[in-house]
Structure 1
Amino acid sequence: MDLDQYWRTIADQLRAIAALLAELTDAELDTPSLCAGWRVRDVAAHVALAPQPPGPLAMLREAARARGSFHRLNHDLAVRYADTTPDLATTLAALADSRELPVVTNHRNIHFDVIVHAQDIARPLGRTIEVDPQACAVAAQRVWSMGWPFWARRRLPGLSLVAEDSAWTVGTGPEIRGTTLDLLLLLTARPGVLPALTGPGVDSLTAL
């Protein structure tokens, strides 16, 4: 993928999230997402914050408040933004074409992040947000090649992951098969994806 293709996928996913949020009730926005301890509205807020990151001094204050925990910092920022932004759908739609980035990340990370978070929002609600399998393959390869925070290769040793809707495959050993998107969710340790996977390698997985 070239740079414009990355950003096109990001924009498409943000618009899809915004369209879904516009249909949700307050109760649905408060539904637990696939991220433990995060409501649907919190995940949406986290996605919306990426193109409008706090400045360095604000980040230092937030890091001190979170006692150095990156996860807690992200969570607390998202919850506060979710609780003070009455129309997350409109906000996300307006930000869809932004190419602003936090200084600590890059477009490759935002690319897989927004794809996964779209599913974090949609799946607990029984909704669907479609993603091009080739974009999912690029995202999956990025997560596979990383260490922190998912440690995918360490968590899935001696297994082959084989996508059924793209040419993406990694690893050696008993196969785990599924859509590229479902394999991406496996790599990022999203709960509930195991029933969608097949192959002899699935039996070696523990519940996510």
Structure 2
Amino acid sequence: MDPWPEIHRQRIAVADLLDSLARDDWDRPSLCAGWTIHDVAAHLTLQQMGLRDLPALLRSWRGGIHPTIQEMARRRASARTPRELAAEIRDTAARRRRNIGVTPLETLIDLLVHGQDIALPLGRVHPMPPEAAAVATRRILTMRFPPPDPAARTADGLRLTATDVEWTHGDGPEARGPIAALLLVVTGRTIALPQLTGPGAELLTARATHPR
């Protein structure tokens, strides 16, 4: 699939979700450990970064890419109000820009997963298109660069099967469930584990909750 039309739709959907939040919601924890809802929203505006933003990246360097991204998101969150962040995501929805060194699929993954990072802790329903989630999940499980989330390795030696779209991946004991839940689990969101069934689901749960 060409991911850009779905990226554009997901940016608008996330902006709509953010616009619906109460002010206090923005300070609540997201599903990302150590990140507030405000931080996650700010992080999504970093998809518009280009070479001119490299100095800001270097100033935020914290010894590794993940802590640096978190620091940049926090700085962006402290500099922009909730309304400004939602408006920025909406206003740039149709731009075909992605971060340096990643493909459009990583941009799509960010939107699908971080939308849930915002919605689920607040008890909100934020639908995830199954076809897009299937493409994103396969990308997570097959990517070599950028390095995938370590949580993707919890699915090694298992067969994952979606129950709401025609999609399977891997061989071994089967874990079945909605494709959105599979995507969340292989990106480290254990909140979705109860939605999975089968002997593979038991192994996934053990690996995700008791990592080596």
Q: TM > 0.5 between the two?
A: yes
Could you state the TM-score of these two structures normalised by the residue count of structure 2?
0.89
Q: Is the 8 A contact 1:11 1:96 kept in 2?
A: yes
Match of 1:186 in 2: 185
Say if 2:69 is the partner of 1:99.
Answer: no
- Within a 5 Å distance, the mapping from 1:26-65 to structure 2 comes to 26-53=23-50, 55-63=53-61
Q: Is the 8 A contact 2:164 2:179 kept in 1?
A: yes
Cα distance between partner residues in 1 of 2:49 and 2:174: 41
Match of 1:135 in 2: 132
Runs of 4+ in 1 over 4 A off after TM superposition: none
Q: Is the 8 A contact 2:140 2:152 kept in 1?
A: no
How many residues are aligned here? 202
Q: Is the 8 A contact 2:57 2:72 kept in 1?
A: no
Match of 1:154 in 2: 153
Cα distance between partner residues in 2 of 1:101 and 1:9: 14
TM superposition shift of 1:126: 0.9
Q: Is the 8 A contact 2:140 2:148 kept in 1?
A: no
Q: Is the 8 A contact 1:143 1:152 kept in 2?
A: no
Aligned-residue Cα RMSD (Å) equals 1.6
Q: Secondary structure at the match of 2:70?
A: helix
Match of 2:120 in 1: 123
Report Cα offsets for 1:28-57 as digits up to 9, x if no partner: 111111110001111111011111345233
Q: Secondary structure at the match of 2:48?
A: coil
TM superposition shift of 1:153: 5.3
Match of 2:66 in 1: 71
Cα distance between partner residues in 2 of 1:83 and 1:30: 11
| Identity over aligned pairs, percent | 41
After superposition, the Cα gap between the structure-2 partners of 1:152 and 1:72, relative to the gap in structure 1 and judged at 3 Å, is closer
Q: Relative to total residues, which structure has the larger helix share, 1 or 2?
A: 2
After superposition, the Cα gap between the structure-2 partners of 1:58 and 1:79, relative to the gap in structure 1 and judged at 3 Å, is closer
Could you state the TM-score of these two structures normalised by the residue count of structure 1?
0.90
Q: Is the 8 A contact 1:144 1:152 kept in 2?
A: no
Q: Secondary structure at the match of 2:153?
A: helix
Gaps of 5+ in 2: none
TM superposition shift of 1:102: 2.0
